[in-house]
Amino acid sequence: MSAMPPFHLAFPVHDLDAARAFYGGMLGCPEGRSSNEWIDFDFYGHQIVAHLAPGANGPKAGNDVDGKHVPVPHFGAVLSMEQWRALAERLKSNGVEFVIEPYIRFEGQVGEQATMFFYDPSNNAIEIKAFADRSQLFAK
C-alpha cells in the first residue's frame, strides 16, 4: 500500500508571529519555508500555509453535530488516540479556550471518535480527532 499523499491547505491569518507561536509552539508543527507574507508548517505530515491577510477572518457559521454547534469552515487532523489525549492535555494546560471541549462523539455508535474544536489566534476553527478503531473513519 502506498503512503497517503499529504494535503495542502492555505488559510488567512492576521499576524504571522501569532501564527508561528500557535502552530509552531502550541501545536508543535515544524516550520518550513516562509516569507514576510506566509509561513509553511508541517501539520502532522501535511502542508498548511498561514498567509498574512488581515481582516479576512470573521464570525463562523455552524452546524449541529451530536448535540454540539460545530464551526464551519474548519480544518484539522486525525491523530492516534494517544497523540489526541496528549494534545488535549497540552492545550488545556496552556489555557486554550475550546469551542467544543475534548470528548467522545457518537459514543457507542458507528463512527465513534474523540474530538475537540478550538480557534487559532486569527479565528480559524480547528478540529483534532482520533478513533479508537481507525476503520471507523469513513464508516456509515
Per residue in 73-94, pLDDT tens? 999 999 999 999 999 999 999 9
**Residue 107 and residue 114: Cα distance in Å, rounded?**
9
pLDDT confidence of residue 2:
61
End-to-end CA distance of the chain: 23
Mean pLDDT calculated for residue range 62-73: 90
Are 119 and 85 found together in one domain? yes
Are 122 and 84 found together in one domain? yes
Contact 114, 103 (CB under 8 A): yes
Mean pLDDT calculated for residue range 35-54: 96
Are 70 and 114 found together in one domain? yes
Mean pLDDT calculated for residue range 96-103: 96
Rounded to two decimals, the pTM is 0.90
Q: Which CATH number goes with the domain that contains 114?
A: 3.10.180.10
